[in-house]
Each structure stands twice: as C-alpha cells, then as structure tokens.
Amino acid sequence: MIPWLRGGLGNVVYFFLFMWYMIWSFQAEMPHVPWWRDLLGGNLVMRQIWTALLHVDPRAKLNSVDIGAVGERAHHLFIFHGFVWTGADVIERSMWFVVALGIVTVAALLFDRFAKPARSAEHAGRNAVVARWQSATAGFSRPVIDALFSSDFGAIVLAELRLLVRGLSVWWYAVAAGLWIFQLFADAKGQSIAVGLAWIWPLLQWSQLGTREAVCATEQFIYPTLHPIRRQFFAQWLAGVLLALTTAGGSLVHWAIAGNFGGIEGILAGAVFVPTLAIACGALSGTTRLFEIAYLTLWYVGPLNRTPFDFTQGAYAPGFTLASVVLFAMAVTARKIRLSLA
C-alpha cells in the first residue's frame, strides 16, 4: 500500500530488515528474551530446552546449547522431550497476532483501489543540474557510443542498456561512482565486499531483464519482430552484462594493475552470471520477484560471507560459468515457449 515499497525496493528493504531482526533477536540473553524480540518463537523453544538442560547439568552456562551440533562442538547430548505450552507462552505469541492486525489495519487505511495514480514528478520538469550534466557529458560520450554501437545489433544493445538505466537520478550514478572508486583502492581481501556492494546497487535494473515485456504488456509488439530471441533477447542479456562490467570496472582495473588474472577471471564470470540469472528468472516467472529474492539470498551467502557461492572470486569462476550456460539455455527455452503460446 506504500507506493515506494510496492516494487523491487520493498523486497530489498524487507530482506535486510528481516536478516537484521533475526540476528538481533537471537543476541538477547536466552532465559529473559521479551516477546517483541522473538518473532518466530525460536527463543521461546530454546528457553524450554535450556530449562531441560539445567535438570541434566545445573552447572551449564548460557549459550552452551546447540541444535544439530556435530563433531568437536557436540560435547554432551541430552534428550528434550518436547515443547510444553504455558499460559504466558500463549499470551506472548498472541501479541504478534495483535501486531499483525495493527499492520493490516494501517494498510487498509492507506488502500484506495480506485485512486488515480499521481503524475510522476519526473515528467513535470527536469532538474537543471541533471540537464546540465547530461549536456556536458554528451559532447565527448556520443562519439565513443557511436563507435561502440555502430551496427544494427549494437543499436539494439544500446537501446536495451538505456532502458535498463532509464529514470535513474544523478545520485544513483554518484553512489555507483563511489563504489567504483572503493573497488579500485580496496585490498585483495576486501574485493569481494567491494564488488558485492557494487553489484547489489543495480539489482532493480537487472530484475527487469526478461520481464519488461510481461510487466509492460508489450509482448504483442516485441514477439512479432524479426528474430526476437537472436536479436532482442540476446541484446537484452548483453546490456545486463555491460552494466555488470561497468559497475565492477574498478575491480577489473585493480586486478589488472596487480597482474592477478584470477581476479579478472572471477569478475568476468560474475559479470556474466548475474545478468544470466536475472534473465533466466525473468523468462521463467515473468516477474521481477524471483530474481530479487534469489539474488539477494545468493549475494548474502556468497560475496558478503566469502563462501564457495561467492560469484566474484576467480577460484569459483568455472562453476559459475557452467551455471551461466545452463541458466541461459533455460532462459532461451522459456522464451521460446512464451513465443509459441503468444
């Protein structure tokens, strides 16, 4: 019901708030966790497990209970005979129903199904600073763009790239430039974080890949065109790859100066993998949500924690290259099915 949370930005905000809340909720002292820090009831269960442990070992210390611990961490095992509800437990869990009802009530007050959408301020007038900036950069950028995208197919790629970044403010580019500089000067250990931050910034742009026709209801205009897969679909994917290479350019320059070809290989493989994942999710689902959820999860597990799911590392480049091939084949197959049904 809140306009600026209605699209992909809402998914991103939800993901980070949920992850922060879950980590924060389990940092409280276990026997005395208040209800408002226990959304999913995990601490409620752990509290009863802790009580059962004290009957077995009265000298047990806080945070000495692990569920599913194996190997060296599993020192002593004891049996937990199950959760027993008390009146206080029921009241605590019922409070979350009250909170949920309050949120739904607020959403209902904001809901107006037949309200006319407000005219976008973007069309009301252009910011003078942005206009001057675009005019200044057009003089030296236009010859370069004309040289790089001179062919017919290049023109389609350029059009798709412009659609990806259409409507972005000067502040978006300022943040992207700051992340580019951060990559350039980050040390080898910090490159995963630097590139990860640079590649979470265009998430909402990549989520458009493979979905724009369905979201904007333009299939009847796109699908009858000449070679809609070989030209338009491939150009759309290539525009996403170019966006990835541009936003991670600082890391490419960093690894090139350092003479680390493994680092360059990791960035190139990631720059292919991310938009391929986006266009595959878009072609399969027809919505932006599948990619936003899948990519946020993978991004958190991979670059942010430097696990084998880190798609910015050269050590894992072969695996992500193979995954890109499989995902692209899935995307093309899904698009062919949509064309046959159109």
The tokens for 215 are 């979201």
Report the alpha-carbon distance of residue 60 to residue 66 in Å, rounded.
13
Identify which of 314, 305, 304, 153 has the alpha carbon closest to the alpha carbon of residue 239. 153
Give the gyration radius of the chain's Cα atoms.
Answer: 25
- Mean of pLDDT over the chain: 81
Highest mean pLDDT among 13-17, 150-154, 258-262: 258-262
Calculate mean pLDDT across residues 8-19. Answer: 80
The pLDDT of residue 119 is: 45
Compare 145 and 318 and report the one with higher pLDDT. Answer: 318
Calculate mean pLDDT across residues 34-40. Answer: 84
Compare 33 and 209 and report the one with higher pLDDT. Answer: 209
Highest mean pLDDT among 275-279, 284-288, 304-308: 275-279
Percent of residues, the chain, with pLDDT higher than 70: 78
- Tens-place pLDDT, residues 74-101: 567 778 888 888 888 899 899 999 999 9
The HSE-up count of residue 276 (CA atoms within 13 Å, CB side) is: 19
Q: How many other CB atoms are there within 10 angstroms of residue 92's CB atom?
A: 17
The HSE-up count of residue 169 (CA atoms within 13 Å, CB side) is: 7
- Burial class of residue 30, CB neighbours in 10 A (0-12, 13-18, 19+): middle
The pLDDT of residue 86 is: 87
261-285 vs 317-341: helix crossing angle, rounded to 10: 20
C-alpha distances out from residue 163 to 205, 259, 262, Å: 9, 35, 32
Q: Where does the pLDDT of residue 180 fall: very low under 50, low under 70, confident under 90, or very high at 90 and above?
A: very high
Q: Where does the pLDDT of residue 58 fall: very low under 50, low under 70, confident under 90, or very high at 90 and above?
A: confident
Q: How remote is the C-alpha of 254 from its chain's centroid? A: 25
φ, ψ of residue 160 to 5 degrees: the values are -65, -40
Query: Whole-model pTM?
Result: 0.71
The pLDDT of residue 122 is: 45
The pLDDT of residue 128 is: 58
Compare 176 and 109 and report the one with higher pLDDT. Answer: 176
The pLDDT of residue 124 is: 44
Compare 88 and 133 and report the one with higher pLDDT. Answer: 88
Residue in the block written with tokens 């993998």: 273
Report the alpha-carbon distance of residue 65 to residue 161 in Å, rounded.
52
Calculate mean pLDDT across residues 54-81. Answer: 70
